[in-house]
Structure 1
Amino acid sequence: MIDKEFLKEKLNLITRDLERLKIFYDFTISQIAEDFIKYAALKNILMEIIGRAIDINEHLISELARPDMEAPKTYRDTFLLLADLNVLQRDFAEEISKSAGFRNAIVHEYNNLDKSIIYKTVGDAINQYAKYCNYILKFILKTS
């Protein structure tokens, strides 16, 4: 059974963190790159947003996937499977699924991440995850 309260709580946290991301618009890339607290905060907020979406994905998959469907092998796959389950549109799922790889890069600090790439991700994250929240809310309302 889909736990709508769990989903709503995760969506509320994502929405709160998207608002927090907007703070970083007020800084230049240099200001963030040179301030380890700002940089760490930015990375952490991005990781939490993506992580919460993955939690939502995994919950929906556990409740909606048919026995003939292959379980997702990666976090990226959780977004793609939501398209198969008609929760997300395919093109959007493919676009936002890339953020799972970005999350892994932040968590594991692959190649000492380029700070400018992290900074440039802010606008994309705000747009993509606001859309993601809308898709999930629509799905919740549709299943009520």
Structure 2
Amino acid sequence: MPIEFDDVAVNKASIIERSIKRMLEEYAADPKLSDFTHIDALTLNLERACQAAIDLAFHRCLLRKLGMPQTSSDAFRLLERSGLIKKETAQKMTAMVGFRNVAIHEYQILDMDVLRAIAGGGWRSLVQYLEDLGLRIRPL
């Protein structure tokens, strides 16, 4: 069952699209992740994209009356159980949001290999998440 195209859904998809574009620009400018300014900008845009994905998940859960998620992981699980997103998508989104939490709350232990993996292609999980919900973006 695809998502209804309400203003919230379209806005969150737009934020994710814009954030992915910025992440890709920053990664292209510093693929070795050696410059703190590029790392910081990449991380900030990852956080923005993840927050928009979380907001969209909570929005869908509430509109569809799937329950009140207590965490972002709960929200993705509820969407998966209801058939709105695939199990693999829910798992990848939960992992990405977990990394986002580390990046935001404990920046000093940020795993550059994980950041590189997200910037190098892991961001496609965000695109898949939106596609599962019936939304299309063009991050490239």
The bucket for the TM-score relative to the shorter chain is: 0.7 to 0.9
Counterpart of 1:127 in structure 2 is 124
Within-5 A mapping of 1:49-60: 49-60=49-60
CA distances 1:36-87 after superposition (whole Å, capped 9, x unpaired): 2111101101000000000000111111134xx5x32321221111111221
Task: Provide the alpha-carbon RMSD of the alignment.
Answer: 2.0
Q: 1:50·1:103 contact (CA, 8 Å) conserved in 2?
A: yes
Q: 1:61·1:81 contact (CA, 8 Å) conserved in 2?
A: yes
2:74 paired residue among 62, 73, 77: 77
Counterpart of 2:88 in structure 1 is 91
> What secondary structure does 2:134 align onto?
helix
The farther-off stretch of 56-65 and 121-130 is 121-130
> What secondary structure does 1:137 align onto?
coil
CA distances 1:80-136 after superposition (whole Å, capped 9, x unpaired): 111112210122212222112111111111662122321222134321111112122
Cα distance in 2 for residues equivalent to 1:127 and 1:112? 24
- Runs (5+) with no aligned partner, structure 2: 136-140
Counterpart of 1:141 in structure 2 is none
Counterpart of 1:142 in structure 2 is none
Q: 1:64·1:85 contact (CA, 8 Å) conserved in 2?
A: no
> What secondary structure does 2:92 align onto?
helix
Letter in 2 for 1:73: Q
1 or 2, which has the higher helix percentage? Answer: 1
Q: TM-score, normalised by structure 2?
A: 0.81
Q: TM-score, normalised by structure 1?
A: 0.79
Instruction: Give the deviation of 1:3 after TM superposition.
Output: 7.1
**Rg (Cα) greater in structure:** 1
- Runs (5+) with no aligned partner, structure 1: 139-144
2:6 paired residue among 4, 7, 10: 4
Percent identity of paired positions between Structure 1 and Structure 2: 24
Cα distance in 2 for residues equivalent to 1:44 and 1:26? 15
